[in-house]
Amino acid sequence: MTSDKGNKLARALPRTPLNDELGTSATLDSSSQKRIGDQLRAMYDELMQQPVPDRFKELLDQLDKKKDGSQ
Amino acid sequence: MTLEADLREGLLAAVPSLRAFAISLSGQVDKADDLVQDTLLRALANLHRFERGTNLNAWLFTILRNLFHSEYRKRRREVEDPNGSYAGRLKIQPEQGSHLDFEDFRTALAQLPSDQREALLLVGASGFSYEEAAGICGCAVGTIKSRVNRARLRLAALLNVDDVDDLGPDSMTRAALQG
């Protein structure tokens, strides 16, 4: 898979809407694939960068203590 | 004896990616956090089943995914999203001060069939290999590949990705700078 970007391959993408019945043999050209991937990761990174809610740390701390007490 | 320090570290370190996956799957932050909490509890209760040295993240994702799907089966109507309300809920999600706008992308993602969305999130965003994703979803590697492929095609069509100026990362960056 090449990672060339900004080329004209994107033009090869069919302009008609793709539907669910589309066969799996079709693949996206690499530059379109890259753009989709970039956006997906950017969206995901934004979620990943949110601070971890305290409840999760507290949960693990509590379990630590419980284990301490019982053993 | 305390929860082994490295394991505790590992569990905590996995939380951001578990949350991102759960939020992207469910479209609801509250529900996602409950899902992550249930995942941690279940993982702790089954630690003896975890093979040391194997991929802790993949194991946790498997648990989270299974919990999500059993919940989904239970409350199908609540989770199903024919009108894109999943995306509507996600819109409130971005942190304040963030200038990037993924609204179009979220809307498109919400329109994917859930098996395609899940496969794409695992491979395209969570960093799992096709093999790991297949293990997490309990299906064949080829199935994951075709789901990811179909998800990308569908997203490209929904987002008109062939229109370079419209949706390229550069225009997003420009929008961010102007915002």
Say yes or no: B102 and B169 in one domain.
Answer: yes
pLDDT tens, A12-58? Answer: 444 444 444 444 457 788 888 888 999 999 999 999 998 989 999 88
Angstrom CA distances, B169 to A61, B101, B120, B143, stand at 41, 11, 19, 29
Kindly determine whether residue B155 and residue A36, on different chains, have CB atoms separated by under 8 Å.
yes
Helix (H, G, I), strand (E, B) or coil at B4: coil
Q: How far apart are CA B119 and CA B144, in angstroms?
A: 6
- Amino acid B8: pLDDT: 86
Domain-embedded: residue A5? no
What is the distance in angstroms between the Cα of B130 and the nearest Cα belonging to chain A?
15
Q: Structurally, how many domains does chain B consist of?
A: 2
- Model pLDDT for residues B65-109, shown as the tens digit of each residue: 999 998 767 666 554 555 555 555 554 444 443 434 577 888 899
Nearest Cα residue in chain A from B168: A35
In a domain, A49, yes or no: yes
ipTM attached to this prediction: 0.71
- Identify which of B37, B106, B159 has the shortest CB distance to residue A43: B106
Domain membership flag for residue A53: yes
Specify whether B105 is located in the same domain as B57. Answer: no
Give the residue from B95, B122, B112 showing the smallest Cα distance to B18.
B122
**Predicted pLDDT at B65:** 96
State whether B57 and B105 are in the same domain. Answer: no
Number of domains in chain A: 1
Residue ranges in chain B whose pLDDT is less than 70: 1-3, 72, 74-101, 162-179
In a domain, A3, yes or no: no
Examine the domain organization and report whether B109 and B53 are in the same domain: no
B101, B147: one domain: yes
Nearest CA-CA distance, residue A9 and chain B, Å? 9
Is A32 a member of any domain? yes
CATH assignment at residue B20: 1.10.1740.10
Q: Are B151 and B96 found together in one domain?
A: yes
């997490």: which residue's tokens?
A: B136
Domain that holds residue B22: 1-80
Q: Which residues contact A18 (CB under 8 A, 6 or more apart)?
A: A26, B153, B154, B156, B157
Residue A33 lies in domain: 28-71
% of chain A residues with pLDDT over 70? 54
> Are B123 and B149 contained in the same domain?
yes
**CATH code: domain of residue B172:** 1.10.10.10
